[in-house]
Amino acid sequence: MADRALNVVCICGSLRKGSYNRMVMNALPGLAPAGMSLMEAPPFSEFPLYNADVQETSGFPPAVQKLADAVRAADGVIFNSPEYNFSIPGGLKNAIDWVSRVPNQPFAGKPVALQSAANGALGGGRMQYDLRRAMIFLDALTLNKPEIFIGNCSTRIDAKTGEITDQQTVGFIRQQLAAFAKFIVQHGPRS
Ligand SMILES: Cc1cc2nc3c(=O)[nH]c(=O)nc-3n(C[C@H](O)[C@H](O)[C@H](O)COP(=O)(O)O)c2cc1C
């Protein structure tokens, strides 16, 4: 483990209040290994649709800069996202597109881990492979395994309390966070 806390920011791909992915994200601090600190990234909900003309005439919106700065400053990034129509939710993709245009693009060399919860049986796997592909283009370092696909999520997460009730899922998440901490240390946390 590093000789200081590893700071990880989490980006939730769902905007809705009752999001299962947000519930998973909120559970992570309780499942993380010692020495890993997790916080939610600044929101992307107010980002305009990406338009290079806006970027060229008015520069990057402050909210974009804020998210880019948080990603750049973090030792690692975790995406907690649903799958929409077999792919990345539009809002999240738009956020990645904006952040990817900021100079010294912040995903380059950044350790990234993926988690998804979805009501389909595959748990958002198809979304993850698209997100993984976007991260390849951005030169992020995406953790390969363990993978976290929470299928039929409404049967594994209590929508009222936000608790992950399926202990196998809890175990997989613990394993992934432990592997991610090692992965960050191997690839060099930010000094
Ligand atoms: C626009 C839209 C598209 C969806 N597409 C998929 C899909 O491709 N695969 C899937 O498993 N679930 C799909 N779902 C269902 C989501 O898995 C479910 O709504 C889930 O709860 C969304 O995540 P959240 O609770 O974090 O908002 C879709 C839902 C919406 C609103």
Other CB atoms within a 10 A radius of the CB of residue 167 amount to 9
Q: Residue 118: which residues within 8 A CB-CB, separation 6 or more?
A: 82, 83, 124, 127, 149, 150, 151, 153
pTM comes to 0.97
- How close is the Cα of 14 to the center of ligand 1, in Å? 9
Q: Is the Cβ atom of 84 under 6 angstroms away from ligand 1?
A: yes
Instruction: Identify the residue with better confidence: 4 or 93.
Output: 93
Q: Report which ligand 1 atom has the smallest distance to the Cα of 85.
A: 8
Q: Report which ligand 1 atom has the smallest distance to the Cα of 122.
A: 11
pLDDT (tens digit, 9 = 90+) per residue, 46-72? Answer: 999 999 999 999 999 999 999 999 999
What SS3 class is residue 43?
coil
Q: What is the mean pLDDT of the chain?
A: 97
Q: Is the Cβ atom of 83 under 6 angstroms away from ligand 1?
A: yes
Task: Report the pLDDT value the prediction gives residue 2, as an integer from 0 to 100.
Answer: 64
Q: Is the Cβ atom of 90 under 6 angstroms away from ligand 1?
A: no
Whole-number CA gyration radius for the chain: 16
CA distance 93 to 78: 15
Flag whether pLDDT at 97 surpasses 90. Answer: yes
Q: Is the Cβ atom of 20 under 6 angstroms away from ligand 1?
A: yes
pLDDT (tens digit, 9 = 90+) per residue, 155-167? Answer: 999 999 999 999 9
pLDDT (tens digit, 9 = 90+) per residue, 98-107? Answer: 999 999 999 9
Q: Which two tokens stand for residue 11?
A: 């980006």
End-to-end CA distance of the chain: 14
Task: Report the pLDDT value the prediction gives residue 1, as an integer from 0 to 100.
Answer: 58
Q: What are the φ and ψ backbone dihedral angles of 18, each rounded to 5 degrees?
A: -90, 25
- How close is the Cα of 174 to the center of ligand 1, in Å? 24
What percent of the chain has pLDDT above 90?
A: 96
Q: Is the Cβ atom of 82 under 6 angstroms away from ligand 1?
A: yes
Instruction: Identify the residue with better confidence: 189 or 11.
Output: 11
- How close is the Cα of 17 to the center of ligand 1, in Å? 14
CA distance 146 to 167: 16
Task: Report the pLDDT value the prediction gives residue 189, as an integer from 0 to 100.
Answer: 79
Task: Report the pLDDT value the prediction gives residue 70, as an integer from 0 to 100.
Answer: 98
Number of alpha helices (DSSP H) and beta strands (DSSP E) in the chain = 6, 6
